[in-house]
Structures are given as C-alpha cells and as structure tokens.
Amino acid sequence: MSIEVESLIAGSVWKIQVKVGDEVEEEEILLIIESMKMEIPVEAPEGGQVLEIRVQEGQAVEEGDVLVVLAN
C-alpha cells in the first residue's frame, strides 16, 4: 500500500531531505517548504520506503499537491 504525502500549504520546495529508496520513520522530515518567509517541515505520516519524489527543490507547490509517495 502506498501513502501520498501532500503539501498542507502553498509555497516553494526549499530542501528535499530524502531520496528514492530511503527508509523513513514516522514523523521524519521528508522536505521543507518555504512559505511567507517561514520554513515548514513536511513529515512522514508513518514509516516506510520512499517510492517517488514528485517535486524538485525550488518548485512552487499548492496546498494538496502530492510531494512524496511512501510504501509501508
């Protein structure tokens, strides 16, 4: 089963902290979004393996965009 991690806010991807194939734990920071001069971490909702990263650093994202796909 896969888990789509979505953006909770509009902004731009400041830093991606994982790569495809990485094993992550629940609440581990996957990437950081910059919005209104604030850095907002996006955490894994549960542990699993990173299957896809659907964004690039510097890319603009909207609320609800899928950022990362995890397999649990």
Q: Please count the other Cβ atoms lying within 10 Å of the Cβ belonging to residue 63.
A: 11
Domain ranges (residues) in the chain: 2-71
Question: Where does the pLDDT of residue 72 fall: very low under 50, low under 70, confident under 90, or very high at 90 and above?
Answer: confident
Per-residue pLDDT of 18-44, as tens digits, reads: 999 999 999 999 999 999 999 999 999
Please give the average per-residue pLDDT across 49-63, as a whole number. Answer: 98
- Give the global pTM: 0.93
Mean predicted lDDT score pLDDT of the chain = 97
The SS3 of residue 46 is coil
Pairing of strands 11-16, 60-61: antiparallel
Q: What are phi and psi of 48, to 5 degrees?
A: 165, -170
User: How far is the C-alpha of 4 from the C-alpha of 40, rounded, in Å?
Assistant: 18
Class at the top of the CATH hierarchy for domain 2-71: mainly beta
User: How far is the C-alpha of 18 from the C-alpha of 56, rounded, in Å?
Assistant: 12
